[in-house]
Amino acid sequence: MSMDRGLLAVKDLDALIQAVGKTAAFLAPAAMGEGGTPRETVFRALSSAEEMSLEKVNTRLSVKGAFFPQRETLMSFEAGAIVDAPAHDRPLVIFGVRPCDAKSLLFMDKVFAGQASAPGNVTHEDPYYLQRRKGSVVIALACDEPCASCFCTSVGGHPYGTDGADILASRTGALGIDPLLLEAVTDKGRAFMAEHAALLTPAGADAPAAREARAAAAAATMPILDFSGVKEKADASFESPVWDRIARICLGCGVCTYVCPTCHCFDITDETVGSRGIRIRTWDACQYPLYTMHASGHNPRPAKRARMRQRIMHKYSYTVDTAGMVSCTGCGRCVRHCPVNLDIRQMLAAVKNDPGAAQ
């Protein structure tokens, strides 16, 4: 059997988890709480297939937390000297990553490898993130029923996209009943499938055509939004009143940045007791007033309009210049979880149609 393609029966998912668990951590979507049908799912390490929940279109938090944790210890120290730097985590196999999340890793890889910076800026590689990525296998799960808040096809993605994935898993029938079709995307994916070939059965010759039909059907359910020219219009609208209108009802809670798969702002602080302490890194957000507060007390972004402008322009203008891509994958999390129903699609439309943009 070619290691490019194979069928994984639902009953063999547990065996796959057990096999992977001998050398790596197996992460997949699972209920946030204990017991019952999950209202929300998150990626967490599993020990059995019973814990897995693939029914939700997407997890509440993205896969970025597996490589860039919300809080992590960078080192411990005593009397000004480094005592210990944490050992790198076990290799990761992450199953059920939706294509929008997998694609986000292409951008995050550039950020943490120092490849998404303006010309002339000092760049650094982040060893914590890069080591986790080096030892990871990402198995994407295609979306057959994208939800109304998803818009991946409008930002260069696809519900069956393979960008950022090592293997694409897709349905052959009912999810949770019929086998999953696994198709290798990278050499790392092929090696993984070869290692676990005993759990795979050959896919029929018609498997690619059936997958293409499902992919076309899934994409057809999603409207294509025209974001062409948004970068140019946003650049020209820097001082426009449109930002006041967009930010008027924003609470500044930052949930949009925390659930976003490409937002990567962080803060580094020391927690000390006497002469001993730890240095930690925690997520931060450009939507918080203190994020840009200088030690002098000056804040270059004192108003919500400036902070909202920064978020949208960073995603749709600045990263086009620095990373060669928009840093939005259309996952729709910011739309689904905003407590005041702000919709980035509507914000982009407002910017694109802004009559107050400088000519």
In a domain? residue 225:
no
Instruction: Specify the residue for token string 């690619």.
Output: 208
- Check whether residue 63 and residue 201 sit in a common domain: yes
Residues 89 and 237 in one domain: no
Is 60 a domain residue?
A: yes
Q: How crowded is residue 312: how many other Cβ atoms within 10 Å of its Cβ?
A: 22
Q: What is the DSSP letter of 52?
A: B
Task: Note whether 330 and 348 are within 8 A (CB).
Answer: no
Q: Which are the contacts of 120, defined by CB distance < 8 A and separation ≥ 6?
A: none
Same domain, 130 and 173: yes
- What's the domain count of the chain? 2
- 109 and 176 part of one domain: yes
Structure tokens at 13: 């998912």
Separation between Cα atoms, residue 286 and residue 306, nearest integer Å: 10
Q: What is the pLDDT of residue 1?
A: 43
Whether 138 maps to a domain, the answer reads yes
**Coil/strand/helix, residue 112:** helix
Residues 36 and 119 in one domain: yes
Domain span at 195: 5-68+75-220
Q: Are residues 317 and 176 in the same domain?
A: no
Q: Is residue 284 one of the residues assigned to a domain?
A: yes
Residues 207 and 275 in one domain: no
Same domain assignment for residues 310 and 190: no
* Rounded distance between C-alpha atoms, residue 185 and residue 181, angstroms: 13
Say whether both 214 and 243 belong to one domain. Answer: no
Q: How far is Cα of residue 355 from the mean position of the Cα atoms in its chain? A: 33
Burial 251-283 (b: 16+ CB within 10 A, else e): eeebebbbbbbbbbebeeeeeeeeeebbbbbeb
Last residue of a domain, one of 165, 197, 220: 220
Pick from 88, 81, 95: which is nearest to 27 by CA? 95
Low-confidence ranges of the chain (pLDDT < 70): 1-2, 33-38, 120, 357-359
Residues 55, 172 within the same domain: yes
- Identify whether the C-beta of residue 200 lies closer than 8 Å to the C-beta of residue 7: yes
Determine the Cα–Cα distance for residues 68 and 22; give it in Å rounded to an integer: 23
Out of 220, 249, 275, a domain closes at 220
